[in-house]
Structure 1
């Protein structure tokens, strides 16, 4: 069966952010991604004012150059230009620049700061929709703003709470991630989160969000080739064990996101 997976979050473009440092690393990552089953890779270098100034024109040019090299090397990956937009006070200005540069591209990957709370999130989401944009929130399982409030029921849930175990069967409607979903946002999970790359707490949170159907697509969030193949496989196995083969393939293909 043709896998035709889509990687919605990848730092494969060389020398533009903290991802691949040179063409050799980009090639190594591309080969691993292709062998795993990815056919399309959305290139999402960081766009952070004062740190990584990756405007749409620069990204499009760099992606075009890398695509040419991959074609010459016979690596069957289709690259798509994108960006990972950092949620900070500079984002509104960057959003306007992106809208003018790519008026046809309405979906934008957004990284919520890992350690910040949700204070800036709701107002920024409103701004996105006023501009006719759809926020795709990157790896919410890694962000403190989305720490889940959970609802337990009865003696069984109380026992798990007393023992210090996390038995989280139902997300509270008051959870920030549920409110953000109701506002119209969609979410991208990291394969590395499911594989345990960021620790057990992030892994369990990713599985919780997965069980509640919060993810519309998956990304590698790959920055380097080292350990990438193992991480991709372990992440896929964890997703499959949780929701089954068909649902795992749907996420890896981005079918839910493409149908919106």
Structure 2
């Protein structure tokens, strides 16, 4: 398996704090069947600033250590930039690191809302040749209330990635239910760990895929897994026609 979103690089954000944490995460990832991880440290989110060249250097250093420790895992370079007014300009300047130097670009929204300029910026990124991937939309409070916001983004060409832990209920029932709603509406294209450590924010990918297979069948699992493989190779991923999330009735009332 390939994990396209993980905070495994040591000492640069709220993920692994030192190399021993990174190695522990790597060993657990291999146990779960993960063979490739794209390291995606936070960038420009108000707390962390991780320039492209620093990430590439850290990835090379970690790969060397994994080889030395005989841990069968490959780390690829990536970044999780927060959406902001300078993002497009920074992408144009080559200051933002895409996923494994492909056209695919992670985009992190604020946890509390969706900025009004989001849809336009995502469109502008596509005009410049990038395919934006909205990370963990199921955990965004405004999307929880108005999932049609994500529909509008996906309808206009953006992609989205669910957190494996959300599928497993690690973020609560409401988030888990929305995760399933988004899958059923063809509004997500990847499952990734967003792992930060081996304790509270671990991988959970194997459990997530078991849950998805039990609910939707093995073909859905294959779709998500193959999309991650296609992404790493810079190829077009599979997309179904997006739909609006159906509003659920509660005691017979919408």
Q: TM-score, normalised by structure 2?
A: 0.83
Task: Provide the C-alpha distance between the structure 2 equivalents of 1:229 and 1:178, rounded to a whole number of angstroms.
Answer: 28
Structure 2 residue 57 is the aligned partner of structure 1 residue 84: no
Aligned to 1:139: 136
Which 10-residue stretch deviates more, 244-253 or 77-86? 244-253
Task: Provide the C-alpha distance between the structure 1 equivalents of 2:80 and 2:225, rounded to a whole number of angstroms.
Answer: 19
Aligned to 1:59: 55
Aligned to 2:249: none
Indicate the structure (1 or 2) with the bigger Cα radius of gyration. Answer: 1
Secondary structure, counterpart of 1:136 in structure 2: strand
Task: Provide the C-alpha distance between the structure 2 equivalents of 1:230 and 1:26, rounded to a whole number of angstroms.
Answer: 13
Of Structure 1 and Structure 2, the greater helix share is in: 1
CA contact (8 A) 2:81 2:96 kept: no
CA contact (8 A) 1:36 1:229 kept: no
Residue 210 of structure 1: how far off its partner (Å): 1.1
Flag structure 2 segments of 5+ consecutive residues without an equivalent. Answer: 238-254
Give the alignment's Cα RMSD to 1 decimal.
2.3
Structure 2 residue 168 is the aligned partner of structure 1 residue 195: yes
Aligned to 1:113: 110
Task: Provide the C-alpha distance between the structure 2 equivalents of 1:104 and 1:251, rounded to a whole number of angstroms.
Answer: 20
Task: Provide the C-alpha distance between the structure 2 equivalents of 1:49 and 1:93, rounded to a whole number of angstroms.
Answer: 16
Aligned to 2:125: 128
Query: Relative to structure 1, is the Cα distance of residues 104 and 223 closer, same or farther in structure 2, using a 3 angstrom cutoff?
Result: closer
Q: Which runs of 4+ in 1 moved over 4 A?
A: 99-104, 227-230, 255-258
Residue 248 of structure 1: how far off its partner (Å): 1.3
CA contact (8 A) 1:118 1:146 kept: no
Residue 218 of structure 1: how far off its partner (Å): 1.3
Aligned to 1:242: 215
Q: Does 1 or 2 have the higher relative contact order (CA < 8 Å, sep 6+)?
A: 1
Q: TM-score, normalised by structure 1?
A: 0.81
Within the candidate set 165, 175, 185, 1:212 is matched to 185
